[in-house]
Amino acid sequence: MVSQAITKYPSDTSNISVIPFAINHLWVRDTGPVYVRGVGKSIKQRFAIKFQFSEWGKKYDIGRHDRVSDRFDWPVMTPEQIEENGSFARRVIQSDVTPSPVTLVESQICLEGGALVVDGEGTLLATESSVINENRNPGLSKIAIEAELHRLLGVEKVIWFPGRKDLDVTDVHADAEVNFVRPGVVVLSRPHSSVPRSWVEVYEEIRDTLGQSVDAKGRPFEVHIVDEPNPQVFGVLSSNDPATNYVNFYFVNGGLILPQFGDIRRDQEALVLFQKLCPDRIVRPVFVSALPLAGGVIHCATQPVLSNE
């Protein structure tokens, strides 16, 4: 596919690098490094954080947990494969040498990139269930975890949502519920009426918290609701809980890649909303079918790499 893209867009070949890695998950948002900018004299340096990855807190308990919405079991992985997943972020950083080497920043906190939703101006949104959880960070208080997030990410304010432990494999990642379009403006995913009540409660808690909060700059949030599609577009599943939300989009230079699921009405409503909210970007709708059944969408399967420009 990359070769085809190079042929179709030959002027962009210098912008494409393929570095193959062995990995047991396609969820690079969670297993990959989180790139950050330096400050002061280090502003031109590239830094990337390696958070600890433990199979979403289930490293030692994989056998008891369902893997995806269609109730496939977790894959049986050897200790070597689990280590392969845990060391993925470090290997990416070591291999990323263009346009300049990347400085590894290792944290003892265990979390995944999908748990972090930031606005780039000091505000972080996260769920307590996916970070302040004994399955990931036993013995660490909210205060200690916040201090580490302030240090690593440069955030000034963390807004916590309760989330739900064990509601899904991630313990409810924030990037599946809410995302920034730009600082001060967020899109919030409203579950379809057919899904379990717990998901509606998660949505209501996030909506209410945002309505009562201000961001790191003191601005109230401008919240736009985007309705999720009917999960029945994927046919009869043993569990009606595929990952079907439009807020799991992905920003690229000058554009936004928006997932589409096959619910014509909801897909179109989401497209119109994002085109309205992002008039300076090309909003490109992309149909996805396998990703939602595996438990994520486009944002979950991508991780941006910071340049030094």
Residues with catalytic roles = 300
Name the amino acid, one letter, at 47.
Answer: F
Residue among 69, 7, 41, 65 at smallest CA distance from 297: 69
Residue among 195, 111, 205 at smallest CA distance from 153: 111
Name the amino acid, one letter, at 179.
Answer: N
User: CB–CB of 189/176 below 8 Å?
Assistant: yes
Written as six digits, the tokens of 142 are: 């909210």
Residue among 159, 185, 170, 83 at smallest CA distance from 135: 170
- Dihedral angle of Cα 30, 186, 203, 122, to the nearest 10 degrees: 60
**Cα(162)–Cα(204) distance, integer angstroms:** 11
For 6, the enclosing helix (H) or strand (E) is: helix 2-8
Query: Alpha-carbon torsion 129, 26, 274, 233, what sign?
Result: negative
User: Which residues contact residue 67 at a Cβ distance below 8 angstroms, ignoring those fewer than 6 apart?
Assistant: 73, 74, 75, 169, 295
User: CB–CB of 22/84 below 8 Å?
Assistant: yes
Written as six digits, the tokens of 222 are: 């401008």
**Cα(180)–Cα(175) distance, integer angstroms:** 9
Residue with tokens 């972090």: 116
Written as six digits, the tokens of 181 are: 């379009």
